[in-house]
Structure 1
Amino acid sequence: MDFDFSAILLGLTVLFGVVWLLDRLFFYKARKARAESSGAEQPEPWPVDWARSLFPVILVVLLLRSFVAEPFRIPSGSMMPTLDVGDFILVNKFSYGLRMPAFNNKLLDMGEPKRGDVVVFRFPGYVCADENGKAVRSADITCQDPHAPVPGQNWIKRVIGLPGDRIETRGSELYINGERVGADEIGPYKGNPNRPEDRLMLTYGAKVYTEHLGSVNHLMAQMPAYSPPMDIPNAAVPSEVPKGCYIVMGDNRNNSTDSRWWGCMPEQNLVGKAFFVWLAWRGPSNGFFDWSKMGKVIH
């Protein structure tokens, strides 16, 4: 089950705030009067005591997570070698505008994603056709159940195509507005064969490149022997990126379920821009931490 922590924080903030407010409006004065007449202190009921103590704390946490920065943990290898499984990152929540907690509707516009940005977003689901032929979003990649509810998951990918761009992919080659995106080979991927993510890339002969995505130069991996990716355009993705949408891909190009599979990422699904790795956890069998990754800015 997927839990929306922002929704939980919002619910608790409202609950504690309402309890505290109701007590102040209807019960506090009577309790104070009884204390003055009896000369003995009247203790607050435990729900009021909890609400008064926890409301300001949870409100501050909610505001920081919603409008400043939110921590996330990388769960898969789709962004390797830039981000690895177990990396804990911070996401700038105001890069693309202030949004309402839990509901994610934009309150204040503060910019749009740029090509090359690493973004966190709510997974929109796979593009399927319902019984009337209408395009819908489903959690079922096969589209056998076009009405399968899409879970509230946060995903992370890199912005490749902006609204109005013409995007084409041919195997490992990427074209933006008719121009091939350049990439310089660095060499074979080097990793720890004891880790499943590294072992997969080593087994299939992954190579690491520096990709030149506009003004952003970033690491990217290719392993064509593993699995050929979907080409763009396809049934889910037209060549021209629609208005209000973005084409996003993982840096581990052959091991990433991204826009090539489920279509463009709607602007309203944006959560924020990933900008910092504050912890790189690798587990007790792999030295606990990757000190070389910790404290790095995400490019």
Structure 2
Amino acid sequence: MAKGAKTGNPIIETIKTVVFALLIAGIFRTLFFQPFWIPSGSMKDTLLIGDFLFVNKMAYGYSYASCPSVAFGPIDIDARDICGFLDGDNTRLWGEEPERGDIIVFRHPVNHKDFIKRLIGLPGDTVQMKDGVLHLNGEAVALEDAGSFDEVYAPQGSMRSRPRCENGVVGEGGTCSKSRQIETLPGGHSHNILNIDDQRSDDTGIFTVPEGHYFFLGDNRDNSTDSRYPQSVGGVGFVPYENLIGRAGRVIFSSAGSSMLYFWTWRGDRFFKRLD
């Protein structure tokens, strides 16, 4: 080092580096891609508990929901606290319309938590379930049998929840099965759905999707809290356009264990898996 050259305080330099790194990460997360960890089985077998993905926040433009919420210890900052000036008119900056069949992360209209479901009903559509079959605008969607989805009956993910099984009560480590079908929506988008049991949500009234709102379902139809359930009882209800966060297109990696850090539990067949 040349004589007389000054060196900065290493503690100050470290703090500056951390602040700049957090600022860059915050901008990246707000404008481009948001990481999302799948905590529940409502989207099986398209998404498994422990899947990790990035949500494309550029897909539908930007609204108040594009801003991240921060909850860490005593800190609890909602997206509205940061970007509330964008909230209220159900519009988006550089907005693009989503397509039926998209897998979307959205902000719950009431509790403000992030949910991930499949877009089923567009504004003006009528949606109804009859005997477990989805009907859109009065017509049943096409269904094709696709065997069964089998998994081990054991605690899953960080929440250590156990799957529900169509084949009745199975012991720990046993095979938990669900019927699988391929559902094809108007427009040609096809994806897998699962069935566990006959229940009330298999038969609903007719939902008419309001202008500027959307209707969402989970692919694991009998294990999903979605737009079939009103917000007053903890359901999703109709989701406003401004509450969309982004589109999920690909799983980056997946862990079958209780933590993403347990690399020995990563599922080798789900690296960069494209989502249908």
TM-score w.r.t. structure 1 length?
Answer: 0.69
- In structure 2, how many angstroms separate the alpha carbons of the residues matched to 1:253 and 1:153? 20
Name the amino acid aligned to 1:178. Answer: G
1:266 equivalent in alignment to 2:234: no
| Cα shift at 1:171 | 3.2
* The structure with more helix, counted as a fraction of residues: 1
- In structure 2, how many angstroms separate the alpha carbons of the residues matched to 1:88 and 1:49? 33
Match for residue 133 of structure 2 among 173, 188, 197: 173
Match for residue 223 of structure 1 among 192, 196, 199: 196
Contact 2:101 2:189 in 1 (8 A): yes
Change (3 A) 1:266 1:232: farther
- In structure 2, how many angstroms separate the alpha carbons of the residues matched to 1:189 and 1:41? 65
**Aligned residue in 1 for 2:53:** 89
- Equivalenced residues, count: 230
Give the number of the structure with larger relative contact order, counting CA–CA contacts within 8 Å between residues 6 or more apart: 2
1:203-246 per-position Cα deviation (integer Å, ceiling 9, x unaligned): 44520011102321111101224x3316443xxxx621001110
Q: Percent identity?
A: 33
Secondary structure at the aligned position of 1:190 is classed as strand
1:192 equivalent in alignment to 2:152: yes
| Cα shift at 1:190 | 1.5
Change (3 A) 1:75 1:42: closer
Which structure 1 residue ranges, 5 or more long, are not aligned? 1-38, 126-149
- In structure 2, how many angstroms separate the alpha carbons of the residues matched to 1:123 and 1:221? 24
Contact 1:82 1:219 in 2 (8 A): yes
Of 56-65 and 81-90, the range deviating more from structure 2: 56-65
Name the amino acid aligned to 1:109. Answer: W
Structure whose CA Rg is larger = 1
Match for residue 253 of structure 1 among 189, 202, 221: 221
RMSD value, Cα: 2.8
Q: Please give the residue correspondences for 1:84-233 in structure 2 after superposition, counting only pairs within 5 Å.
A: 84-99=48-63, 101=67, 102-103=79-80, 105=86, 108-125=93-110, 150=111, 152-195=112-155, 199-204=163-168, 206-214=178-186, 215-225=188-198, 227-229=199-201, 231-233=203-205
**Aligned residue in 1 for 2:174:** none
Secondary structure at the aligned position of 2:17 is classed as helix
Which structure 2 residue ranges, 5 or more long, are not aligned? 68-78, 169-176, 231-236
Contact 1:187 1:209 in 2 (8 A): yes
Contact 1:172 1:224 in 2 (8 A): no
- In structure 1, how many angstroms separate the alpha carbons of the residues matched to 2:5 and 2:56? 51
**Aligned residue in 1 for 2:271:** 294
